[in-house]
Every structure is written in C-alpha cells, then in structure tokens.
Amino acid sequence: MFSIEHDFDATVITLIDEGQAPLAEDITINAFAECITLEQYDPRSDSVQKITLSITQLNELALALNLPEGLYSRLQR
C-alpha cells in the first residue's frame, strides 16, 4: 500500500510494507525539483535514516531497474 500527497515544495510518497512478518518500517519519498530523499525509521538506532539522490541518480536508477547485470555509463549531451 502507498499514499501520495502534494505539499507546497514536494510530492511525498509513503510506502507501507504489508504482508507476512517481519515487516519493514514505512519509507517516505520526498520529490523536490532538485533532488529526491528517501527516509526510513531505524528502530535499532531510534532515528530516521535519510538518503538523498540527485535527479540524475534517480534517472539512472529507473534505467537500471530494467537492465541486465553489467556496468553502464550514460554520456551527458
């Protein structure tokens, strides 16, 4: 299950783990004009862990999801 909310400066997507235990904590994705952040609560450290991806990194991730194993390079033009 997931939710999508449009805030003033970002689109916020929350992914909720469903199914068999053990379940993972919810993941919140914030899509800004200049970057994407992923946040997930870590109960071991009792803190929210955050990863920031540039738009280029996000685009490469999207491409990588449908490619076979290997090393790839995108040339900027």
Q: Check residue 22 and give its pLDDT.
A: 85
Identity of residue 14: T
Q: Is the pLDDT of residue 74 over 90?
A: no
CA distance 43 to 33: 30
pTM of the model as a whole: 0.81
Query: pLDDT (tens digit, 9 = 90+) per residue, 1-14?
Result: 989 999 999 999 99
Domain boundaries, the chain: 2-64
Q: 15-59, pLDDT tens digit by residue?
A: 999 988 889 999 999 999 999 999 999 999 999 999 999 999 999
